[in-house]
Amino acid sequence: MENQEFSDHKVSTWCIVSMASIPLVMTLGNSMLIPVLPVFEEKVGITSFQSSMIITSYSVASIFLIPVAGYLSDKIGRKKVIVPSLILALIGGLIAGFASWKLENPYMVIIIGRILQGIGASGAMPIVLPLVGDLYQADDEKTSSCLGIIETSNTFGKVLSPILGSLFAVFLWFLPFFSISFFSFISIVLVFFFIKSPKEKKEPRKFKEFMRKTKQTFKIEGKWLCTIFIIGAFVMLVLFGVLFFLSENLEKIHHIKGVRKGFVLAIPLSLLCISSFVTGRAIKGNIAMMRKIVMVSLFLLAISVVFVGYTHEKLFLLLVITSVLGGAIGAILPALDAMITENIAKDERGTISSFYSSARFIGVAAGPPVMSLLMKDYLNITYIVTGVLSICILFLVFKFIKSKPEKEIGPSPV
The residues near 255 (Cβ < 8 Å, ≥ 6 apart) are: none
> In this model, does residue 7 exceed pLDDT 80?
no
User: For the chain, what is the radius of gyration of the CA atoms?
Assistant: 20
- The proportion of the chain whose per-residue pLDDT surpasses 70, expressed as a percent, equals 91
Over residues 106-120, the pLDDT tens digits come to 999 999 999 999 899
Q: Is 165:33 a contact under the CB 8 Å cutoff? A: yes
pLDDT at 89: 94
* Spatial distance between the Cα atoms of 184 and 193, rounded to a whole number of angstroms: 14
Q: How confident is the model at residue 56 (pLDDT cuts 50, 70, 90)?
A: confident
In CATH, 8-196+204-408 is 1.20.1250.20: yes
pLDDT at 413: 32
Q: How many helices (H) and strands (E) does the chain have?
A: 14, 0
Among the listed residues 2, 11, 34, the one whose alpha carbon sits nearest the alpha carbon of residue 200: 2
> Hey, where are the domains in the chain?
8-196+204-408
Q: Is 158:269 a contact under the CB 8 Å cutoff? A: yes
Q: How confident is the model at residue 125 (pLDDT cuts 50, 70, 90)?
A: confident
> In this model, does residue 218 exceed pLDDT 80?
yes
Q: How confident is the model at residue 126 (pLDDT cuts 50, 70, 90)?
A: confident
> In this model, does residue 5 exceed pLDDT 60?
no
pLDDT at 60: 83
The backbone torsions φ and ψ at residue 137, rounded to the nearest 5 degrees and listed phi first, read -60, -30
> In this model, does residue 410 exceed pLDDT 70?
no
The DSSP-derived string for 49-108 is: HHHHHHHHHHHHHHHHHHHHHHHHHHHH-HHHHHHHHHHHHHHHHHHHHHHHHH-SS-HH
pTM attached to this predicted model = 0.79
171-174 long-range CB contacts below 8 Å, 24 or more apart?
Answer: 172/101, 173/36, 173/39, 173/40, 173/43, 173/100, 174/43, 174/96, 174/97, 174/100, 174/101
Average pLDDT over residues 133-147: 77
* Spatial distance between the Cα atoms of 238 and 18, rounded to a whole number of angstroms: 29
pLDDT at 133: 78
Go through the chain and tell me how many residues it has: 414
For 350-388, b where at least 16 C-beta lie within 10 A, e where not — what string? bbbbbbbbbbbbbbbbbbbbbbbebbeeebeebbbebbe
Average pLDDT over residues 372-385: 89
> In this model, does residue 101 exceed pLDDT 60?
yes
* Spatial distance between the Cα atoms of 44 and 39, rounded to a whole number of angstroms: 8
Which 8-state DSSP code applies to residue 407? G
Average pLDDT over residues 204-209: 68
Over residues 261-308, the pLDDT tens digits come to 999 999 999 999 999 889 988 887 788 899 999 999 999 999 999 999
Over residues 316-373, the pLDDT tens digits come to 999 999 999 999 999 999 999 888 877 777 667 777 888 888 898 899 888 888 888 8
